[in-house]
Amino acid sequence: MGLGEQLTVVLHQTRSPDNLGAVARVMANFGFFRLVLSDPATYAFRGAERLAVKGEQVLERMAVARELPEALSECVYAVGTTSRTQLKGRVPLTPEQAARRLAEESARGRVALVLGGEQRGLSDAELAVCADVLVIPTSEVQPSMNLAQAASVLLYLCGREGAQPALPPEPEPGARMGTLTALGTRMNEVLLASEFLNPQAPEHVLREMERTLLRAKLTQREAELWLSAFKHLGRGVKRGASAS
Amino acid sequence: MGLGEQLTVVLHQTRSPDNLGAVARVMANFGFFRLVLSDPATYAFRGAERLAVKGEQVLERMAVARELPEALSECVYAVGTTSRTQLKGRVPLTPEQAARRLAEESARGRVALVLGGEQRGLSDAELAVCADVLVIPTSEVQPSMNLAQAASVLLYLCGREGAQPALPPEPEPGARMGTLTALGTRMNEVLLASEFLNPQAPEHVLREMERTLLRAKLTQREAELWLSAFKHLGRGVKRGASAS
């Protein structure tokens, strides 16, 4: 399957029906149909159809998730969009690199392009759940792009990648982010209980460890292996704690 | 001067303030500030400021022309955007080729990217005054893009070209389309009077001749030379007619 079938557009904390409709239309323009709203800031999306010219099928098939990790749970790869060029220790991809990367990763399963939130962009925590981040280079005069216009640029580039012959699918399906999130939660518990992580600020070290696993491009089977390993470690640690 | 200074965005028969505002914003996003409205379908553009976030300076400097040739009169090159892939005998440029071409031609003077009209796109006659036409490849499901979203894709690509070091300016300024339009009008008169053109349908042959002159990339001086030559030819033909 190529990028056309595998790409999911995730709109985080959408509040404008106009933007939603415009994104649905440009998705249809470039042959993409999977749209997920994550933690929408409103549910009054009636108005969207007005702008979603011939994008109705995108809106009909649209899914809604309570939070970003849930929106990404079925995906093996996600790239988050940000207008900020200063990203603590992360090197942003160019739009072209991101489109190429999405096409490559689509050989392992579903991939996500994350946009939003309309007010202040994606937070560090939200970007942290994305394997990569991308920045659309803009002028200092007006660095911040409208959501639907940023989507137009990125989906045009993804459409071009989608037009290339699809890469042969990987023999093993990639780890779904839902499984990786469960793994992260379990690692957090166990590594706190074993007094490895600092209870005051566990996130930073945990995120680093999680990112290494993302970089390893685990298969779904390997991710489940890790999850089950940490379940056993958890029981072991608990036994140790009650024994002492 | 680079593409940033030389690119003029021409919106033909704009009717939506929202589109105008959105285009002004994305122009500012990518560092472009020359906007011309050609034959606007309305003048009620108050609403545009609302969407032109930080694009006000684009709207303040915006010019209005009664018709497309007037909007292009100062430009040495124009590329017209169309969603139709069937173009009688004209090979459309890809968006990337068009951006490259605009950057190259900007060494000769001002260049124009023409978009619109919102209802039915640019007519054949309107596209005929553009040296080139471009098509943004879209899916059959929804081939027609929103104006502001098409502008986003094209101005992003132009912004990338603009980021390249500007080509050295040509020693001689290129022929302004205003002069070329005057030449075309004069050629039409004289070639009809001399019974070269068929009075029933002069356009087709005339357009072909005009296009060869466009292709020749005349300097302003050469264009004025041709214009003056046809003025003299006109007088000669008139004399011949009255003599007989």
DSSP chain A: --HHHHEEEEEES---HHHHHHHHHHHHHTT--EEEEES-S----TTHHHH-TT-HHHHHT-EEESSHHHHTTTEEEEEEE-S-S--TT--PBPHHHHHHHHHHHTTTSEEEEEEE-TTT---HHHHHTSSEEE-----SSS-PPPHHHHHHHHHHHHHHHHHSPPPPPPSSPBPPHHHHHHHHHHHHHHHHHTT-S-TTS-HHHHHHHHHHHHHTT-BHHHHHHHHHHHHHHHHHHHHHHHH-
Cβ–Cβ < 8 Å for A153, A136: yes
CA distance B148 to chain A (A): 7
ipTM attached to this prediction? 0.74
The pLDDT of residue B11 is 96
Cβ–Cβ < 8 Å for A209, A163: no
Residues 53-82, chain A, touching B (beta carbon < 8 A)? 53-55, 57
- Tokens matching residue A116: 């939003």
Phi and psi at residue B11, to the nearest 5°: -100, 115
List chain B residues with CB under 8 Å of A95.
156
CB contact under 8 A, B29 and A137: no
List chain B residues with CB under 8 Å of A142.
25, 28-29, 53-55
Domains and CATH numbers, chain A: 3-162 (3.40.1280.10), 177-242 (1.10.8)
Alpha-carbon span B231 to B171, nearest angstrom: 27
The pLDDT of residue B123 is 87
Q: Which residues of chain B have pLDDT under 50?
A: none
Nearest CA in chain B to A83: B29
pLDDT digits (tens), chain A, 244 positions: 689 889 999 999 999 899 999 999 999 999 999 999 999 988 878 778 877 777 888 998 999 999 999 999 999 999 999 876 657 778 899 999 999 999 999 999 999 999 987 777 888 888 888 989 999 999 988 888 999 999 999 999 999 998 877 778 888 889 999 999 999 999 999 889 888 888 898 888 888 888 778 777 888 988 998 899 888 888 888 887 777 6
The pLDDT of residue A1 is 61
CB contact under 8 A, B51 and A146: yes
